[in-house]
């Protein structure tokens, strides 16, 4: 009898200690402990949604566009990045590795040219190069070149479809020599020919 009583007392003691802890744990699981807001959660969700939209758009192009299986993915991604930057402001630019290496080379030395920054943009099947900036007191600035002017021809050679590095090399030349640019003006789409004398261009 004493043995049974001792067993019952032990069982009651264990129940008294364990059950409240179990109930408390269940309540915490149901209500959840207070958590601090995660500022990165919303940003990650937005980024994931954008990535899904981009992947879906790319898949549709691959399946529905006549040359969808022959896409130049470098141009596709580059155009997407440039479009994103253009939604922020008209002055931000994107340079791929080759263009950026060339930009760093330019910034280390003086060269002979017109003193303008140019950038190639891809719109559908069309690849064109535009003036994105002119350096202060440079031949380009004195010649009236403006942001957004499209370079149609250099010395009579059409520039559509050519990368910016090739256009740049065509524009540069010996100091004192002239280069004839055919431009489509950004302001009114007017075609205009401009003669500019190359000069030493200090880096901005």
Domain encompassing residue 177: 111-201
| Between 129 and 49, the higher pLDDT residue | 129
Per-residue pLDDT, averaged over 121-144, amounts to: 91
- The whole-angstrom separation of Cα 91 and Cα 32 is 48
| DSSP bridge pairs for 131 | 118
User: Is it the case that residue 76 has pLDDT exceeding 50?
Assistant: yes
> E strands within 66-149?
111-113, 116-123, 126-134
Mean pLDDT for 89-104 is 73
- CA distances for 18 relative to 5, 22, 23, angstroms: 20, 6, 9
The CATH number of residue 155's host domain is 2.30.42.10
Q: How many domains does the chain have?
A: 1
174 domain-assigned = yes
Alpha-carbon span 191 to 187, nearest angstrom = 11
In this predicted structure, the answer to whether residue 183 has a pLDDT above a threshold of 90 is yes
């Amino acid at each position: 009898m004493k043995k049974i009583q001792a067993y019952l007392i032990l069982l009651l003691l264990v129940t008294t200690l364990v059950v409240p802890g179990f109930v408390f744990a269940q309540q915490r699981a149901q209500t959840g402990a207070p958590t601090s807001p995660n500022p990165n959660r919303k940003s990650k969700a937005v980024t994931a949604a954008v990535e899904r939209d981009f992947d879906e758009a790319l898949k549709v192009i691959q399946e529905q566009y006549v040359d969808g299986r022959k896409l130049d993915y470098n141009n596709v991604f580059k155009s997407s990045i440039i479009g994103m930057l253009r939604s922020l402001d008209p002055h931000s630019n994107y340079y791929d590795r080759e263009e950026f290496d060339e930009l760093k080379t330019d910034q280390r030395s003086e060269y002979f040219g017109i003193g303008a920054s140019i950038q190639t943009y891809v719109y559908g099947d069309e690849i064109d190069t535009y003036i994105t900036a002119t350096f202060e007191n440079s031949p380009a600035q004195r010649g009236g070149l403006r942001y957004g002017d499209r370079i149609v021809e250099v010395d009579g050679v059409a520039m559509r479809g050519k990368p910016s590095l090739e256009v740049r090399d065509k524009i540069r030349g010996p100091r004192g020599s002239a280069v004839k640019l055919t431009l489509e003006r950004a302001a009114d789409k007017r075609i205009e020919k401009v003669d500019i004398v190359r000069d030493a261009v200090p880096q901005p």
